[in-house]
A and B are shown apart, each in its own frame.
Chain A
Amino acid sequence: MSELEKARIATVSLAGCFGCHMAILDIDERLIELMKLVEFDRSPLTDMKTFTRRCDIGIIEGGCCNEENVHVLRDFRRNCDVLIALGQCAIMGGLPAMRNAIMHSDAPLRECLEEAYITGDYIRNTTHQIPNDPALPLLLDEVYPCSDVVEIDYQIPGCAPSGDIIFNTLSSLLAGRFHGFARENIKFD
């Protein structure tokens, strides 16, 4: 297979812990096999911050907790044929979405920030300020799953998904024979 025919993959970590990206590395030695079929474009794995050209697959870790996440996710949608939400954060909002549970407050976002930076029991913040550098993206009112912001084509479940499920899904997608997950991969009891 020539270089030109390799599928191009872009990845990004939005409101995630980077665990899903680490899980991509759990593919272990099969990575060599995979790299025969794909080439990475924009991705933390290549340290490229912009798309060099249109990609076949975009892999998203994490949901959207701030405006930059929204911006980047939309960019991915525009530049990728197929978008995959990788892991619970991308699919459902995951752990960061726990802040959505602050419901019975008139100002949930403020309450969240105050607890995180000022009033929380385990906080040591010598400035006693909530960070507000102009370079910091504005937070969203809630943490949103990716599918609320753009159309998502596939979801790979798990927190983090196993190397196996990532490898198997990617290779069957590339071979054009992905038909959903086996039950044991998506049941949780």
Chain B
Amino acid sequence: MDRYSNPTPGADFGAAPASRSAVVAICAAYGNDPHRMLDILRDIQDSFRWISPETMEIVADETGLSRIQVEGVASFYSFLSQVPKGRITIRFCDDIIDRFAGLADIVAIFEDALGIKTGETSADGAFSLEYTPCIGLCDQAPAAMINDVVVTSLTADRARDIAAALKAGQMPQDIAVAGFDDLSPHERATRMVANNIRQAGEVLLGPVSPEAGLENAIALAPAAIIDAVEASGLRGCGGAGFTTGRKWRFAAADPVARRFVFCNADEGEPGTFKDRVLLTERPHLMVEGMTIAARAVGAREGLIYLRGEYVYLREHLEQVLADRRARGLLGKDILGVEGFDFDLRIQIGAGAYICGEEGALISSCEGLPGEPKTRPPFPVNRGYLGFPTVVNNVETFCHVARIMDRGADWFFDMGSDGSHGTKLFSVSGDCRSPGVYELPYGLSLQELLERVGGEDAGAVQVGGPSGTMVDRANFHRRLTFDDLATGGAIIVFSAQRNILEIVEYYMSFFVHESCGYCTPCRVGNVFLQKAIAKFRKGLANPEDIDYLRDLSATIIETSRCGLGMTSPNPILTTLENFPMVYSALVKPSRDRIRATFDVQAAIDDARKLAKRRSYIFDKDFTK
């Protein structure tokens, strides 16, 4: 938890005072609409580098909310700050992949050069250093955000250069990409971040014919579009794997005044970065898919929820939307079809994994803290502002456009039973060719490892922290929804890696990202993390293994959303697949007295404070 904490309030770090008129103008730019609270607060953060108590009062007045409601949102997101941040804020991805890739050395260089520790802001208000969980650049770790741009594959030399350039006053974008100003948004994105497409498949990353799917779709009745998507066997690519056609059918069912189509581009599961590549290379396909969905369910409004870490893609996506509007592919009477209206906006997130959960995503778009909603009602029945809302993943929408182009059968025939079509795998960690692979479902993990140069893996985390840690004996298992399911993350660990170090990191991730609504998730994950720390220190009893299982079961059973329902998975799947890791570390009692309780360590603080020895436990005690 501490790794992410804000610097202590106090000094104003030279931050500009937020002038009332500037704040009023920001609120006005969003129509003083409380539903746009996240945008308002993001803009305030960008302009003034913090959200002060006075600013919150003004925002509350302008939007008709109470200050406490505003503060509820401001305090929820890790990219919003209630203490002044540096003009340049550097956020290091501190995921386990980056740690294994040498993060500590990179951080030390920046700390040294800027004269502050991570978690601090320099006294002149120039710099802040922070840690943040996975920023979706796992194939080019160590990586970091510098304000709104990213830098990747950091080496010691590059880190020194960047720090020096920043201190010399160069703008972050010019440091991230040479000649930034003269490049198109797409060029900026691709020069900043390598796509690392290692294998293009037939559906998404191979050649696609633009708008062919949309053109076919408008020739069909909306119900027939849903039939085709359902017949294709397409299941959601965001992790849960719900049948897309069925989701749309629910959303289209009742007669209502408004419906929405939301694209989930929050891509927060550590180790997942395939949507980043689609957003960069296939944004038209994605919006085409959304437009088809809008036609199918009768929605006129849509939204792309782009994670705050991907804000470097914003301009690129805005350009795509503007281009499509100009070409009559968005807006009124799309492709000349009378009454086929659909348009959308981009909502930028602010550093909260939970906002990838569809209910939390909707809360976030409504200007509320990004907390999941109680289900039912499901978003397809009552979602954004209470209206039916289809939320699908970036990849799912891209698939839809291709299915409408090439036909349901074409898609259905690829892959395996129950898992049709292709899937993008984002591969990172200890392998020779990290990057994105488009492959039909049904491949074994072993086959994938051979392709990525990860044959020597000792363990593979499939599906990110909320997925499964697989041992060598299970590499024959297949990458399908029914065997090893994944939203895309494949994280390869060599046999030298410490499994419990990985597990402890993943638990700290869930501790940090729990929205805090359910006590078992908020508190239970802390206890699980502490228990793993105990194992790592050799302080665990044999019964602690049962404790891990019991507490995990409680968290899973009593949590409201998928985060809590999957957060014990790093522990449960390693207990299952790496039992020796745990049993080798436990210390049985002697004479029923715990060998794991270290009384010398426990009295050491007091011994120093009292400046005397223990009359019970120090053999050399003399009065």
Q: Which residues of A contact B (CB under 8 A)?
A: 66-68, 70-71, 74, 77-78, 107-110, 113, 130, 132, 134, 136-142, 144, 148-151
Contact = CB atoms under 8 A, between A and B. Distances in A.
Nearest to B597: A149
A141 B604 CA distance: 8
B593 interface: yes
Contacts of B616: 67-68, 71, 137
A151 B434 CA distance: 48
B594 A149 contact: yes
Nearest to A148: B597
Given A67-B617, A110-B609, A140 B602 contact: yes
Contacts of B607: 138
A134 B597 CA distance: 24
Contact of B605 (A70, A107, A132): A107
Given A134-B615, A141-B605, A70 B599 contact: yes
Contact of B599 (A67, A134, A139): A67
A134 B606 CA distance: 12
B591 A138 contact: no
Nearest to A109: B605
A133 B89 CA distance: 51
B336 to A, nearest CB: 62
B614 to A, nearest CB: 5
A14 to B, nearest CB: 14
Given A67-B617, A137-B616, A149-B597, A78 B591 contact: yes
Nearest to A68: B616
Contacts of B597: 70, 144, 148-149
Given A68-B616, A134-B612, A151 B589 contact: yes
Contacts of A137: 614-616
Contact of A138 (B592, B593, B610): B610
Contacts of A132: 610-612
Given A67-B603, A109-B606, A138 B594 contact: no
A43 to B, nearest CB: 21
B145 to A, nearest CB: 27
B623 interface: yes
Nearest to B5: A104
A113 B614 contact: no
B594 A151 contact: yes
A140 B615 contact: no
A144 B607 CA distance: 18
A150 B602 contact: no
Given A74-B593, A150-B593, A67 B614 contact: yes
A65 to B, nearest CB: 10
Given A130-B609, A151-B593, 9 more contacts: A71-B617, A110-B609, A134-B612, A136-B610, A139-B605, A144-B597, A148-B596, A149-B594, A150-B592
Interface in B577-623: 589, 591-594, 596-597, 599, 601-607, 609-612, 614-617, 623
Given A67-B599, A68-B616, A134-B623, A150 B594 contact: yes
Contacts of B602: 67, 70, 140-142, 144
4 closest Cβ contacts across the A-B interface?
Answer: A138-B606, A140-B602, A151-B592, A139-B606
17 contacts: A67-B614, A67-B616, A70-B602, A71-B617, A107-B605, A108-B605, A113-B609, A132-B611, A134-B612, A137-B614, A138-B614, A139-B605, A140-B606, A141-B604, A144-B597, A148-B596, A150-B592
Q: Which of B591, B606, B615 is most buried by chain A, counting CB atoms within 10 A of its CB?
A: B606
A110 B605 CA distance: 9
A150 B589 CA distance: 8
A77 B614 contact: no
Contacts of B617: 67, 71
A158 to B, nearest CB: 21
Contact of B591 (A71, A77, A130, A139): A77
B604 A77 contact: no
Given A109-B605, A142-B602, A148 B612 contact: no
A185 B446 CA distance: 52
Nearest to A104: B2
Contacts of A74: 593
Contacts of B623: 134
A126 to B, nearest CB: 21
A110 B607 CA distance: 11
B589 A138 contact: no
A55 B599 CA distance: 25
Contacts of B615: 134, 137
A105 B591 CA distance: 36
Contacts of B610: 132, 136, 138
Nearest to B617: A67
Nearest to A131: B610
Nearest to A72: B616
Contacts of B606: 66-67, 109, 138-141
Contacts of B614: 67, 137-138
Q: Which of B602, B609, B617 is most buried by chain A, counting CB atoms within 10 A of its CB?
A: B602
Contacts of A110: 605, 609
Contacts of A138: 603, 606-607, 610, 612, 614
B617 to A, nearest CB: 6
A109 B602 CA distance: 11
B599 A77 contact: no
Nearest to A73: B593
Nearest to B602: A140
A113 B616 CA distance: 21
A118 to B, nearest CB: 13
Contacts of B599: 67, 70, 140
Nearest to A71: B616
B612 A77 contact: no
Contacts of B601: 141
A113 B615 CA distance: 20
Interface string B418-455: 00000000000000000000000000000000000000
A144 B602 CA distance: 10
Contacts of B592: 77, 150-151
Contacts of B611: 132
Contacts of A107: 605, 609
Contacts of B594: 148-151
Contacts of A134: 612, 615, 623
A36 B448 CA distance: 73
A66 B605 CA distance: 12
A55 to B, nearest CB: 14
Contacts of B596: 148
A144 B534 CA distance: 14
A140 B603 contact: yes
A76 to B, nearest CB: 10
A154 to B, nearest CB: 14
A167 B612 CA distance: 43
A149 B604 CA distance: 17
A74 B590 CA distance: 11
Contacts of B605: 107-110, 139, 141
